[in-house]
Amino acid sequence: KTYYPFKSILSGLWLAVVFATLAWSEDTASDQDGSALMSEASLGEPFASVSIPSEIDPVRAMKACVRAALGRKWDIVTKQDDILKINLKQKGWDATVYFVVKDDVVVLYSDSYIVNKKTGERKKKRDPEGWLRNLEKDVGVFMDREAYLE
């Protein structure tokens, strides 16, 4: 009988992939139903807010938030019905922003830090105000486009 060592290695890898996929899907499921995510009360003080035009609904307002984040090269971390969490790590910053879509306004919260470039540790809580103002401006522009052009 011929022994194929690769067969046992491949079956072991296959099992590892299956278990990793199951673990990932459980994490994702808990994020999507909101149980492992944040509530608005845990986000701290708001940084800015943008009025939602009466012509668009909260779903289209969230779409505008996603477009603004992706347009500025932020990473989408999690997305619920009414809360979008994004992150950007660059230039010594670890910046996390939450967009909370309410009936008539999008509120931006920031949980951002300056990072020690040598150790990678967060040094000081501080908001990257220029980046946040750009997001605030872009969300308004994309909501106006949703309302008046599409």
Mean confidence (pLDDT) of the chain: 76
The CA dihedral of 86, 71, 136, 58, to the nearest 10 degrees, is: -70
Helix boundaries (H) for the chain? 5-32, 58-71, 129-148
Instruction: Report pTM.
Output: 0.69
Q: What pLDDT does 8 receive?
A: 54
pLDDT tens-digit readout, 73-93: 999 999 988 999 999 888 888
pLDDT at 22 over 80: no
Cα(136)–Cα(130) distance, rounded to whole angstroms?
10
